[in-house]
């Protein structure tokens, strides 16, 4: 006889109805009413308490099930005049462990009209400039601190819609311990938001670990006789101005000050150094003898007709690189720094958290390296005839 049962089931449960409907305004105000999600097959009790979240955020909503239903309600009951977001997470599965592939979002109201506003955008790592894939975004309404939110997707994007009108404190953060709230040790960024009934707000969060103290100088490295690299214990604001008065360089032997010409953030120093190198190469190429025949592409450019009067050839758009924070700045002296011991003092330097710091450190300026000695010229080859080798006397 054929074996009992049927073909294996590999299709996850399908949502076929929700009661009440999404965007319904209901006259609820107690603990008995529930939002019911109905599926096309029996669902498992596994991971049942992790299957749903309610916003305004509730840590442990009441979640139960029937044969094909998932039922959700707040433990303390529904509050009147409130907009609720119910999120069913992709842990719901059938009896064959086939999970739903996408989260389910449902919105109802217990009295307030449901607006058509939205808050969306992305969360980025401020240090690397890359999208934060394990982040979350919360928007906390002021002054009642009702919290709405959700996780970002695989590209760091988020979208929150139909929020109550008012002012919000929005925070994007890296949820390291998966407790769905921003802790002091989480990297985060905050933005104030005001929402009307039809507003669409786009936000970009750039998260980083916030400091509690200003930056402290921890290392001074001489690059050459003119340049010093100053290393700090935290990331600096790469856009903050750097007047030369920020850094003092004092000789320990006689307490004389060394004049500084320029201070650079790391990204500006790299750009300046590269431009100097390009100018040096261009000068070397100009001094070299020119070829008699121009390259084909150069000749082709010379053959182009001039632009018509009133028109200009469009310049190629060059994307500016993202300015990422560093722990370093560079000091360029006005004249070569004599060898010896020095004290470097830094005043009111700004870090990413907006805190200013004063600090100092000592270092030794080494003797400049002597230029490499050129090898002596080789003697000219001897073109005279070789002398005969005298034979031995017999």
Q: Are residues 268 and 362 in the same domain?
A: yes
Question: 47 in a domain, yes or no?
Answer: yes
Asked if residue 186 is part of any domain, the answer here is: yes
**How many Å separate Cα 264 from the centre of its chain?**
22
Tally of domains in the chain: 3
The domain boundary residue, chosen from 207, 237, 265: 207
What pLDDT does residue 59 have? 84
349/262 same-domain check: yes
Q: What is the mean pLDDT of each run of 10 residues along the chain (394 residues)?
A: 78 95 90 92 92 92 94 93 94 94 94 95 94 93 94 93 96 91 92 95 95 95 95 94 95 94 94 90 75 41 38 38 86 95 96 95 90 74 58 52
In this predicted structure, what is the pLDDT of residue 372? 75
Q: Would residue 384 count as lying in a domain?
A: no
Question: Do residues 224 and 171 share a domain?
Answer: no
pTM over 0.85: no
Token match 């006889």: residue?
A: 1
| Claim to verify: residue 123 and residue 135 sit in the same structural domain | yes
Within this chain, do residues 100 and 87 fall inside the same structural domain, yes or no? Answer: yes
Domain that holds residue 339: 211-280+325-368
Statement to judge: residues 276 and 147 lie in one domain:
no
Task: Copy the structure tokens of residue 285.
Answer: 């190429």
pLDDT tens for 178-194 read 888 899 899 999 999 99
Q: Are residues 218 and 351 in the same domain?
A: yes
> Is residue 227 in some structural domain?
yes
Which CATH number is 85's domain given? Answer: 2.60.40.3710
**Domain boundary, last residue among 109, 142, 171:** 109
CATH (domain of 341): 2.60.40.1220
Tokens of 343: 């004290």
Do 94 and 231 lie in one domain? The reply is: no
Three-state DSSP state, 1:
coil
Is residue 93 domain-shared with residue 124, that is, in the same domain?
A: no
**In this structure, is residue 301 part of a structural domain?**
no
Model pLDDT for residues 101-127, shown as the tens digit of each residue = 999 999 999 999 999 999 999 999 999
Structure-token match 């030369």, residue found: 244
On whether residue 392 sits in a domain, the answer given is no
Under 8 Å between Cβ of 53 and 40: no
Residue 255 domain-assigned (yes or no): yes
Asked if residue 215 and residue 198 are part of one domain, the reply reads: no
- Kindly give, in sequence order, each residue whose CB lies less than 8 Å from that of residue 40, ignoring residues fewer than 6 positions away: 13, 14, 16, 68
Tokens read off for 87: 């999120």
- Of 109, 142, 160, the residue at which a domain comes to its end is 109
Asked whether residue 68 is assigned to any structural domain, the reply reads yes
What CATH number is associated with residue 155?
2.60.40.180
H/E element holding 268?
helix 266-287
Do 336 and 268 share a structural domain?
yes
* Domain match, 75 and 184 both: no
């Amino acid at each position: 006889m054929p074996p009992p049962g049927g073909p294996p089931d590999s299709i996850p449960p399908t949502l076929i109805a929700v009661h009440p409907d999404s965007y319904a305004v209901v006259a609820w105000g107690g603990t008995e009413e529930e939002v019911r999600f109905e599926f096309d097959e029996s669902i498992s009790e596994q991971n049942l308490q992790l299957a749903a979240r309610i916003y305004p955020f509730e840590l442990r909503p009441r979640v139960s099930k029937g044969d094909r239903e998932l039922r959700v309600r707040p433990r303390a009951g529904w509050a009147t005049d409130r907009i609720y977001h119910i999120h069913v997470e992709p842990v719901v599965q059938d009896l064959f462990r086939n999970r739903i592939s996408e989260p389910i979002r449902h919105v109802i109201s217990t009295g307030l009209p449901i607006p058509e506003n939205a808050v969306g955008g992305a969360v980025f790592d401020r240090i690397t400039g890359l999208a934060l894939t394990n982040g979350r975004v919360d928007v906390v309404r002021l002054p009642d601190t009702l919290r709405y939110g959700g996780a970002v997707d695989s590209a760091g994007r988020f979208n929150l819609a139909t929020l109550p009108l008012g002012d919000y404190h929005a925070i994007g953060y890296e949820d390291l311990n998966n407790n769905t709230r921003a802790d002091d040790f989480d990297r985060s960024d905050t933005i104030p938001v005001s929402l009307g009934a039809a507003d669409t707000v786009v936000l970009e969060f750039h998260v980083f670990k916030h400091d509690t103290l200003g930056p402290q100088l921890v290392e001074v490295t001489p690059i050459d006789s003119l340049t010093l690299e100053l290393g700090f214990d935290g990331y600096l604001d790469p856009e903050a101005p750097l007047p030369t008065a920020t850094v003092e360089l004092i000789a320990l032997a006689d307490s004389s000050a060394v004049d500084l010409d320029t201070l650079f953030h790391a990204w500006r120093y790299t750009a300046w150094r590269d431009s100097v190198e390009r100018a040096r190469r261009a000068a070397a190429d100009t001094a070299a003898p020119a070829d008699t025949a121009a390259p084909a592409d150069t000749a082709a450019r010379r053959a182009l007709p001039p632009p018509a009067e009133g028109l200009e050839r469009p310049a190629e758009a060059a994307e500016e690189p993202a300015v990422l924070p560093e722990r370093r700045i560079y000091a360029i002296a006005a004249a070569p720094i004599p060898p010896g011991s020095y004290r470097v003092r830094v005043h009111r330097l700004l870090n990413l958290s907006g805190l200013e710091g004063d600090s100092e450190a000592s270092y030794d300026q080494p003797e400049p390296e002597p230029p490499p000695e050129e090898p002596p010229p080789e003697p000219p080859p001897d073109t005279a005839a070789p002398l005969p080798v005298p034979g031995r006397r017999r």
